[in-house]
Structure 1
Amino acid sequence: MFTLQENGLARKRTIKLVCNANNYESEDVDSEEKPNPINLSNSRIIVLVFMSLLLDLLAFTMILPLLPSLLDYYNEYEVHSNSLYASLLHIVKSFQDLTGAPDQFSSVLFGGALGSMYSFLQFMTSPIVGSLSDAYGRKPMLLICLIGIAISHALWSYARTFSIFVLARFIGGLSKANVSLSMAIVTDVTNEKTRARGMALIGLAFSIGFIAGPLAGAWFAINTDISTGAWGEKPAYCATSLAVVNIVLVLFCIPETLSKEKRAPLSLTLVKSVDYISPLHLLRFTAVKNLTSFQNLVLTKLGFIYFMYLFVYSGLEFTITFLTHHTFEYTAMQQGKMFLIIVLPAIVT
């Protein structure tokens, strides 16, 4: 939001960034300089979106402290079989020979590959789901995503083999567009004066989720015997339960926020989809129309800075658990406490 004050007049000329789930357009509007009170109904929707996102993130982060032990389990029982794990291990070994990585850290490469696959699928599907939500509404697409997430957690609870575990992560990555849809709902029900509060609640949901989720996953798994073949079953059941509660919450409590009058015609052309996922277009913010050169320069710099931050942080997130597991022999509970210490300052600040 960029605002220009016109020579002490009581009116402001505002360059407003009008956004939906995927498309952005700037326009000039005149607005009176007077308080814009928060609509109670809209505030309730924002709180419900916060609760939905918190439930999702609690379920999503439960697996983080368990990944090293999960991959150790699959390595022990499938390394000498004709399975997907053994086939991928052969590829990992070739990569280790090429880079000189130690043999004992093959699980780290597996964990990084699984994390990258999950995020890549989210990156590919979010623009498509966003375009569908612009045409058919936020709520139907959000429910579809949450159902997919629930299925992925349910598959995890029965992942006796590595193939089923990968399938669970694959479905979860395809369904993870619910995060961008939650942001779109907040945008629908807020204005320039209330949007910051709504986005702050989304950030708070991430912080709480990354604190409580890993601890909860470790707590549920602490009494599970890894030799039974049901490793991770209890935290997976808990994650599935949270996902089901989330579906009920959205289905009965969160209304549709994009009216039919504001919906855009569906235009999922190949060129448009490529533009949404092209790193060059994303870093240049070409999806945002009618920006001045100065505004585009500011957004480009901020986007690059944020990309570099997430690049480093994501690498830390998916490797630190393996580092502490192999180097310091951390248990799952110690991993959960580690996430608590890392993320807690984010809430305090």
Structure 2
Amino acid sequence: MAPSSKAVVGLVFCCLVIDLLAFTIPLPLFPRIVEWYHIREATGSSDSNLLSWSLSSLHSLRSAVASHTLASPHLHVKKWDVVLLGGFLGSIFSFCQFMVSPWIGILSDQYGRRPVLLASMVGNLLSTVLWIQSTTFASFLLARLVGGLSEGNVQLSLAIISDVTTPLNRSKSLALVGLAFSLCFTFGPSIGAYFASLPLPSTPLLLSTTRELNIYAFPALIALGLLLVETGALWWLLPETKGWKVEEVAGGKKEEAEEQVVVVDEVERAKLLKRLGRLHGVFLFFFSGAEFTLTFLTYDLFGATNAQNGRLLSFIGVLSSLLQGGYTRRASSLPLLLAHRGILATSLGLLLLSALPIYPSSYLLYAGATCLAFTSASVVTGLNAFVGGLEGGKEGRGERMGRFRSRGQMGRAIGPLSACAIYWVLGPSACYASAGLALSAVAWSTRSLVEMEAKEKALLKKKIA
């Protein structure tokens, strides 16, 4: 007997939470990981000098293009080379996602969601195994490459939920993806920071290996365990959803029917998708750069430990989860308006963070983090819900979601590196202030989309009445 749509949505949500927990575990560890590799290679305890060569080259380049930063006694420039290299690590993962997302969508339309998702899980497992054994910067870089090329879980989860839901309940169901992100940013970084502070347990399996392991092999092992559980659940419980027969619920409530946004003209629909894709990419270009450098900022200004960075990210996740469970689900009938408000909140949050180097205060830090929490609960959730709810078109749902996500991942690929480069040359204040002002302009440009959505809703209400 085939499972119900609700059961499939519940399974996908639970597996996505497990997957994103594994993904968020290393987030607060990046500054210390780079620092650990640097110390190893500087002392000759590593057989690779890629990191030392990279940091030396960055220092020489900054001496040529921004010598004023080296002479300033008020700036923590010794750590800025680590920040830029961290931005490269964040960018390379997302660039791989940009390359493969359309192909993952096309393959899922051709061969089905389930086999492509299981193949993606194999790549995730391999990436985590490489991380456990990475004692050189080059091997850690390889783990990030493998992970980026195989991570298709979020994109395929969006396609599966869209497959099994009706237009009446699709927006609320897709909002669960945003809730999964919020929950995992609540617990994942804290889990990573906690297990990073513990020694690796002396189990027979670990004692039997003669290889030296990564300093953070313990959190990596936790991530590996989570991915194994997820893979097993998907293998045993997930049905194929491509071509799923969705039964419309008769006699739906008027307020549920009003959640649909009807775009009749195919040419206009294609233009709208292209515009939303650009908006997705531009927004994530600025937001991901600030998001990625946040733990480096606290490391730079306050010398934050893994645990302190974990608490900061958990605060963002807790608040975002509360917003997802309340405000976001109630506002899901107007997803573009939801996204517009989130972009405004991002702009305000980044401008607050830009003042931190001048007024280093934990209150100011958490005020900016509060704005970013609202962003996490609104922008991408709103855009995904709107695009997932569009019907028709020549391309399959997997391909459409893949291309839309690919444009966002291109923003995520360039964003961290660009933000870290501005941070590296001009300092953190210029980095966050420029991103905040740019997002103000992006928010201004989305007003026409919000107006279009409101008009569509008004027309639909008249038809229903």
Shared fold, TM over 0.5: yes
Q: Is structure 2 residue 33 aligned with structure 1 residue 65?
A: no
Identical residues among aligned pairs (%) = 39
Q: Is the 8 A contact 1:156 1:233 kept in 2?
A: yes
Aligned equivalent of 1:33: none
Q: Whole-Å Cα distance in 2 between the matches of residues 292 and 158 of structure 1? A: 51
- 1:125-176 per-residue CA deviation (whole Å, 9 max, x = no partner) reads 1111111111111111101111111111111111111111111111000011
Give the number of equivalent residue pairs: 282
Report the counterpart of residue 227 of structure 2 in structure 1. 243
Q: Is the 8 A contact 2:163 2:244 kept in 1?
A: no
What SS does the aligned partner of 1:151 have? helix
User: Partner of 1:311: helix, strand, or coil?
Assistant: helix
Whole-Å separation in 2 of the counterparts to 1:43 and 1:337: 33
Aligned to 1:113: 88
How is 1:225-236 mapped onto 2 (pairs within 5 angstroms)?
A: 230-236=214-220
Is 1:321 aligned with 2:301?
A: no
Corresponding residue number in structure 2 for 1:97: 63
Distance 2:107 2:214 in 1: 38
Shift in alpha-carbon separation, 1:109–1:332, aligned structure 2, 3 A: same
Task: Name the amino acid aligned to 1:245.
Answer: V
Higher strand share: 1
Alignment of 1:162-311 (within 5 A): 162-224=137-199, 230-259=214-243, 291-293=266-268, 295=269, 299=273, 302-311=276-285
SS at match of 1:223: coil
Deviation at 1:224, TM superposition (A): 3.9
Q: Which amino acid aligns with 1:241?
A: G
Query: Could you tell me which amino acid in structure 2 is paired with residue 74 of structure 1?
Result: Y
Aligned to 1:36: none
State the AA in 2 paired with 1:59. Answer: A
Shift of 1:324: 0.7
How much is the aligned-residue C-alpha RMSD, in angstroms?
A: 2.5
Q: What is the Cα deviation at residue 93 of structure 1?
A: 2.9
Aligned: 1:344 with 2:318: yes
C-alpha distance in 2 between matches for 1:87 and 1:246: 38
String of CA shifts for 1:213-254, please: whole Å, max 9, x gaps: 0000001111249xx964111100000100111110110011
TM-superposed CA distance for 1:92, in Å, is: 2.4
Aligned to 1:83: 49
CA separation of 1:289/1:343 partners in 2, compared to 1, >3 Å: closer, same or farther?
same
**Aligned counterparts of 2:159 and 2:3: Cα–Cα separation in 1:** 19
Task: Give the whole-Å Cα distance in 2 for the aligned partners of 1:167 and 1:289.
Answer: 46
Matches within 5 A, 1:44-55: 44-55=7-18
Distance 1:150 1:313 in 2: 28
Change (3 A) 1:333 1:259: same
- Judged with a 3 Å threshold, the aligned counterparts in structure 2 of structure 1 residues 88 and 190 are, in CA distance, closer, same or farther, namely same
Give the Å deviation of 1:63: 0.5
Q: Structure 1's 137 and 343: CA in aligned 2 closer, same or farther, altered over 3 A?
A: same
Whole-Å Cα distance in 2 between the matches of residues 49 and 211 of structure 1? 19
Distance 1:165 1:306 in 2: 29
Kept after mapping to 2: 8 A contact 1:96/1:103: no
Partner of 1:264: none
- Please give the secondary structure, in 2, of the residue aligned with 1:256: coil
Give the gaps of 5 or more residues in structure 2.
70-76, 201-211, 246-262, 324-465
CA distance in 2, matches of 1:290, 1:80: 65
Q: Secondary structure at the match of 1:166?
A: helix
Greater CA drift, 101-110 or 122-131: 101-110
| Contact 1:118-1:172 within 8 A present in 2 as well | yes
Which string of whole-angstrom CA distances, capped at 9 and with x for unpartnered residues, describes residues 8-45 of structure 1? xxxxxxxxxxxxxxxxxxxxxxxxxxxxxxx9711100
Gaps of 5+ in 1: 1-38, 262-287
Which has the larger share of helix?
A: 2
- Report how far residue 198 of structure 1 moved: 1.7
TM-score, normalized by length of structure 2?
0.57
- Give the 3-state SS of the residue equivalent to 2:290 in structure 1: helix
Q: Aligned pair in 2 of structure 1 residues 336, 200: CA closer, same or farther (>3 Å)?
A: same
Aligned-partner SS, 1:152: helix
The answer for the alignment partner of 1:281 in structure 2 is: none
Q: Deviations over 1:42-73 (max 9, x none)?
A: 11001111111111110001101111111100
Measured after TM superposition, the shift of residue 303 of structure 1 is 4.2
CA contact (8 A) 2:55 2:82 kept: no
TM-score by length of 1: 0.75
